[in-house]
Structure 1
Amino acid sequence: MSLASVRHLHPASYRRMAWKNGGGITTELVRSPADAENYDWRVSIADIAQDGDFSIFPGIDRQLMLLEGGGIELVIGTDEPTRLEQRFRKVAFPGEAPVNCYLLDGPTRDFNVMCRRGAVDAELLARTIVGPMLLFPAADTTWLLYVVNGHVQVKAPAVAAEAGDTLIVTFNDATQPVVLNGAGELVLVRFKPTPPA
């Protein structure tokens, strides 16, 4: 029986850093490869306290999900404005697009996923966990689970995560699903290589 690898990240390991354009502060949960400037993917949480522009990231595909707060309005390039007013609503956009961000009702907290275009695709989800949840083995797939609130336990290998913690599940040649139990809310990201064109 081959088990998946589960890496447990605590908030103490996260890195707070200035936005690329100097307009704010973000908390980086993890990037892959670790510490690489030209990462394949990166996950962070931004606390937005004022209106302003987003940094430019050429060649990066971005997704943003509202975690807390009164919401934001984004003007992405020449598109019509997009409003994220409800928790866990999300939007995807190219990193090289100019983005203007406007707060709707005070500061917000937002979950950010960035992937190198042509290398990695990401699926961003929010789920409530009230009992068992299964992640099934899939080749070349990595799952990231961020515990928004509550708690989560992994059966095998045995891992317990609390609110604010992050789990990274890598299957490699694993044949058994990962069984999660707990109560609360999760943000999940499924990473997999971009299919050949």
Structure 2
Amino acid sequence: MGMGVSVREEIAKRAAEEIKDGMIVNLGIGIPTLVANYIPSDINVMFHAENGVLGTGPAPNKGEEDANLCNAGGIPMTVVPGASYFDSTYAFGIIRRGLLDITILGAFEVSEKGDLANWIVPGKIVSGMGGAVDLAQKAKKVIVLMNHTDKHGNPKIVTECTLPLTAEKCVNLIITDMAVIEVTDLGLVLKEVKDPYTVEDVIHATGAKLHVTESVK
């Protein structure tokens, strides 16, 4: 199943609900980038980019790009009042000190223990792991946004990851086109099911055991 724009936007919108006032948040490349578009105006959040900005703003309008301002993915961006610039060493210092409240990442696979595989598919060309290892290990909360299954219909939520790991036991919440799943000490807990899917659909599309509570939304 290919991802329509609306599906990506839906996932990003749901992720934005996890962001509270005053947080410092790092958004990964891909769907996570879209999360910034759904932060309510009354919520003050400082977005962190590992190339050296705290306080990144929305994408600039066409023709208003600043050649010196881009995010960690090289995409033009803007900054908000109160933003600051620093070198990437300092940017990683902020990550490694555990100062990020949330990091929102994409993934190829997540295991039932919350292991994350998101930086390389063997045999494919890769630009490098970027900040993913540090972000996954050190952020106070790690949220993964991804398709529930890959383009061949295979589960991306699995008992054990088969791809090289980015970090172990780091993911707290998984938001997909089908569901919202929390990683707990007891395993994976199904919190929400998206229309038009059913609980059975989600269980069927998940390659690991899901705990379904009474309070599934």
Q: TM-score scaled by structure 1? A: 0.29
Select the structure that is richer in helix.
2
Higher relative contact order at CA 8 Å, sep ≥6: structure 1 or structure 2?
1
Q: TM-score scaled by structure 2? A: 0.28
